Structure 1
């Protein structure tokens, strides 16, 4: 798959811009999402639904980062009143009510633009918007197969606490939705870490 980014400019000259996710970002976001997370991780229908569910009280909790015309990162966040815990969630172990927990779908930064603080800024901005919506915490399912377990280490550093590990979280998606895990050779058997970040 062809990437949608250009070579990294010098850090001092990189002008990263941040804004709320909007429909004009969808095509570029899908290219980056499926490049980083695997084919069919997101599709057009899925991103449109996520976008709609990012809103509560007129506030959008999903954010993108751009350098020039290149979309180099995004944080997709579902508002607390727009999702329900499923079998991969343990609300009885959460210190806040499930009605006050938003859902962090994913935080993605193009590998060519890492080490610029983009991921942390996206998370901070998304938390700020989620708080304005009324959330007091955010739940994420962290991919434990990320290189060097970087996703877990990053979310832990940001204050996320491990609630429970869920083997086979993405197995059903792999079997029924054509998700092509970038790590597993056939059916995805990756373990997800259910983590909660309180605000």
Structure 2
């Protein structure tokens, strides 16, 4: 796929944004836009954990179901899930029914709860503390971007020390891309570094 493609509206976007109808608004409105807040970042961390080994479009298409099943990813409510909730989630055909990923999401809610209990914004601070300097030159293509970076490796290690699971360097780098800690829009995309609409 080309690094960038001109859409029907005349705007040039990353090539991957054209591979499914749901990806175009995701590309423009979410991916790479700076995201802050413990709860939104917790949700993205969970979704990236469920995405491991799957394509992102699979998770994006199930996101509303995930939000319903996981009580809008409310940190305190997910932290309170018990064995009955695990079985409920395993029986929910609308979501990714992987026991290890489900229990990791619950464990990560508890880790987040501990982290932010006396320090609201602490998850945001931890993650954004690993954001590299903003790009001034966009990558030539999405294919040229590594699956992980030294920054995502360090962030992964820090999260694991805090008790988080399913937060390997590749998963964390996907989160960094999604949440705008990095701008990995390809050169030529209207949202790429150096473009007037850059994030």
Instruction: Flag whether TM exceeds 0.5 (same fold).
Output: no
Between structures 1 and 2, the one with greater helix share: 2
TM-score when scaled to structure 2? 0.25
Larger Rg computed on CA atoms? 2
TM-score when scaled to structure 1? 0.25
